[in-house]
């Protein structure tokens, strides 16, 4: 009878123990989450650096294409201006 009574008292406390564990670990989990959001891992840093480098290369490629087009237009203009048959 005593065992049955002890078991009847312990079973409802199992939920309380679980809840107490969550309450006790909540500040640690919150601090961990905050630190994780405030810092950058090496993998994230590498990914961001690669993205930044690819964007810079694309900008340089577009500028080079624009400069080449401008240079061709200048050469055409100079050829027209120096044409003696005109």
Q: What is the 3-state secondary structure (H, E, C) of 12-66?
A: HHHHHHHHHHHHHHHHHHHHHHHHHHHCCCHHHHHHHHHHHHHHHHHHHHHHHHH
Q: Does 70 fall in a domain?
A: yes
Q: Does 33 fall in a domain?
A: no
Domain total for the chain? 1
Q: Does 75 fall in a domain?
A: yes
User: Would you state the structure tokens that stand for residue 49, as one six-digit string?
Assistant: 């650096």
Give residue 76's domain range. Answer: 45-80
Per-residue pLDDT of the chain (86 residues; tens, 9 = 90+): 777 666 566 566 666 667 777 788 888 888 888 888 888 889 999 999 999 999 999 999 999 999 999 999 999 999 988 876 65
Please tell me the distance from the alpha carbon of residue 13 to that of residue 6, in angstroms, as a whole number. Answer: 11
Please tell me the distance from the alpha carbon of residue 68 to that of residue 78, in angstroms, as a whole number. Answer: 15
Q: Does 3 fall in a domain?
A: no
Question: Is the pTM for the entire model greater than 0.85?
Answer: no
Q: Does 61 fall in a domain?
A: yes
């Amino acid at each position: 009878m005593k065992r049955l009574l002890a078991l009847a008292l312990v079973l409802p406390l199992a939920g309380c123990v679980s809840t107490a564990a969550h309450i006790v670990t909540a500040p640690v989990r919150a601090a961990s989450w905050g630190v994780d959001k405030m810092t950058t891992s090496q993998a994230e840093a590498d990914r961001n650096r690669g993205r930044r480098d690819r964007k810079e290369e694309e900008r340089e490629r577009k500028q080079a294409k624009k400069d080449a087009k401008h240079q061709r237009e200048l050469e055409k203009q100079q050829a027209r201006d120096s044409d003696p048959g005109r």
